[in-house]
Structures are given as structure tokens and as C-alpha cells.
Amino acid sequence: MLSLGVLGCSIDTKPDPAASRNAKDAGRDGGDASTFVVMRSGPAPDASMDSFFINDPAPPMCGPNGERKEPELTEKLPDCPTDKNREGCPCENPGERVACWPGKRVNRNHGQCHDGTAECRRNGEFAPSWGPCEDYVLPEEGATQGPAACRCFSNGQWMLKNLVPCIYEGDEGKVRVTSSIPDEEQGFRCEGDTQPAEDWTASTLKAECAGRFELCYTIKAGDVERPKTSDCVVKRLCIETWYAEPGQAQSLPGLPAWRAADDDCTRTFVEKGGYGEMAVHGLSSECDDVDDGDGSPYVFKRTRYCSPRCASQPGLPECKACGTGGSGQF
């Protein structure tokens, strides 16, 4: 029985023929770290000055179980919100410098947006008031996605340490595909055509906003340059988690070991090639939908798997970029 560890293409490192017992490795495209920028439907943020102090409630909060809590309305002077320190509004301590924000609360300190500073100034015989807000950054006009849109969940990074499937070809022409086994020295190893006992890969998430998210990795047979909805699925694995601390890498449950059940799709994957697909779906702590804009999971990364021929013929033109690991940013 011949076993192959199929990786992806993008890194200029040659596979190690001794990576595992009777196992050879091809390469994987894009590697194990992927940053995703969330797309949104609906109008772009209103960045005009006239919009800043009109109908500007604090964002709602959505908890681990999806419960929604609307903000309490406690502002006594809508034209002079105490949390924004708006220019011309009263202050108490001349010379004091504080954070100020001339934008909408829903965008504050998200993505590229950040506070400016304002100084409490004497105003002749009148009460002191805040001077102009300086050095702030607002949403980019017309932006609907990514850091420029300044929404709670504008981007993030899902890291997977090992994404190598093992291919086993029997004497009777049968093909089996399973997860590989993580190995500290070799990166991975392939051992037999049964489902391994160990998890396939460790996983971590880092994002700008808390929330409950489902992250899925799917191996498909097809052309990564021309993906189709009809591409068959070799295996799909998902993790659902509550991400609690924005900006901090959080360890997630590992993706479990697996063995492909669809023999026809497995054969197509081996003979014609395939790709891996990362997707996210969820709800942020500020009740933003994290999806493709139409309510479906947002596919934020596709990774081409190299041909199994690269295991024994790494010098082929299509195998030059194949390697045993890597990372991708997007």
C-alpha cells in the first residue's frame, strides 16, 4: 500500500521523502494561518459631520447564548454626550486633555477608527468648554468591509497548524483519504488507512471583537481557481466557539481526526486535484452578523492542494511551489 501526505502549494521548500514511514509529502497552498476580512451587506457607514450626533445610540450587546441586550438611554444632554467630549460642550478642568470621538458609537475604536484628543479650554467670562477634537480617524467613506468600515468584527485570523490529508492507494485500485497525525519533528505522519486516534490539527483564533462563531474547514475536489457549488466534499470539519477576549489569541478545540466516506469524491480529489476552504459564520458581541452578506457562511480563504505526483516527482513544474507548511494573509 502506498501512502501520500498531500500538502499545498506556495512555499519554495522541497518535501522530505522520509517524512513518515512509506509516506511522501507534496505541498499545501497558503499554509496554516489565515486572516479574514468580513464582508457586510447594507449601506456604507455615514462619515458626514451632520450624521455624528443624530440617532446615535450605543450598540446593543449579544452574549454567549445569543441573548440581545439593548443599551440603556441615560444621556441627559443629547447634543453634548459625556462620552464623546464634543467641541463646544462644557467641561470642568481647564487644561485637561481627554479622549474625544466625533463619530458614531458603533464605529468607535473598531478597525482603523480611533479616538482623538480634546482640551478643556477657558472661555472668557463663560464656562470652560471642550476645544476641537484632534487626531481622530473615522470610517472611510463608502467602505462596507474590513478595517476601513470600522465595525466590531472587521477582521480576524484563524490559525491551523496542520492541514495535511493522507492518501492511501491499495493493490486493487481503491483509494482512501484520512487526516494525518501531527508530529513535532516531521510536521505530520501517515500511518495506515484507518481513522487516526489523534486530532488532525490544533487551532487558534484572534479577532477584533468578541462573539460566537462557527469556523469550518472543507476539503473539496475541484479547481481552486474556478470553484463551483457542485464541487464534491471530501470532508468538512467545524468548530463553534464563544470568543471572549478581543485582540487575544484564543486556543480552540482541535479539528478531529477523520476518514473520507465518499469513494467517488475521494477518487476525483486524487486524480484531478482539490482545495481546502475556510469559512466563518456567527454573531459578534455587538450583534453584527458575520456572514457573506446573504446569511450564509463567509468563505475567506481557499488553498490548493498539490497533485500526489509531487510526492515522487517534486521537480515537476506544478510542484515547484509545494512545501510542507506555510502561512497566508488576506
The answer to whether residue 191 scores a pLDDT higher than 90 is: no
What does the CA dihedral 44, 48, 49, 50 come to, rounded to 10 degrees? -90
Residue with C-alpha cell 481557499?
302
- pTM here is 0.75
pLDDT band, residue 175 (cuts 50/70/90): confident
d(CA 93, CA 100): 15
Report the pLDDT value the prediction gives residue 155, as an integer from 0 to 100. 77
The pLDDT > 70 percentage for the chain reads: 75
Could you read off the pLDDT of 2-45 as tens digits, one per residue? 344 554 443 322 233 333 323 333 334 434 455 544 444 444 44
Confidence grade of residue 305 (pLDDT, cut at 50, 70, 90):
confident
Residues 6 or more apart whose CB falls under 8 angstroms from that of 253 comprise: 203, 239, 241
Residue 327 has pLDDT above 60, yes or no: no
Top-confidence residue, 38 or 154 = 154
The predicted structure's pLDDT at residue 127 = 92
Least confident segment among 60-74, 98-112, 190-204, 252-266: 60-74
**254, 252, 236, 244: which is closest to 212 by C-alpha?**
244
Of the candidates 283, 219, 309, the residue with the CA atom closest to the CA atom of residue 27: 309
Which residue from 300, 326, 329 is spatially nearest to 27, judged by alpha carbons? 326
Q: What pLDDT shows up at residue 146?
A: 79
What pLDDT does residue 85 have?
93
pLDDT tens for each residue of 196-255: 999 999 999 998 889 999 999 999 999 999 999 999 999 999 999 999 999 899 999 999
Top-confidence residue, 281 or 80: 281
- The single residue listed with the C-alpha cell 440581545 is 68
pLDDT value at residue 260: 95
List the chain domain ranges: 2-39+153-319, 52-64+75-143
Residue 140, Cβ neighbours under 10 Å: how many? 18
Q: In what order do the strands lie in the sheet with 116-123?
A: 97-100, 116-123, 126-130
316: Cβ contacts below 8 Å, ≥ 6 apart: 307, 309, 310
Q: Which residues pair with 82 in a beta bridge?
A: none
Q: What is the pLDDT of residues 76-86, one digit of tens each?
A: 666 788 889 99
Q: What is the DSSP letter of 139?
A: P
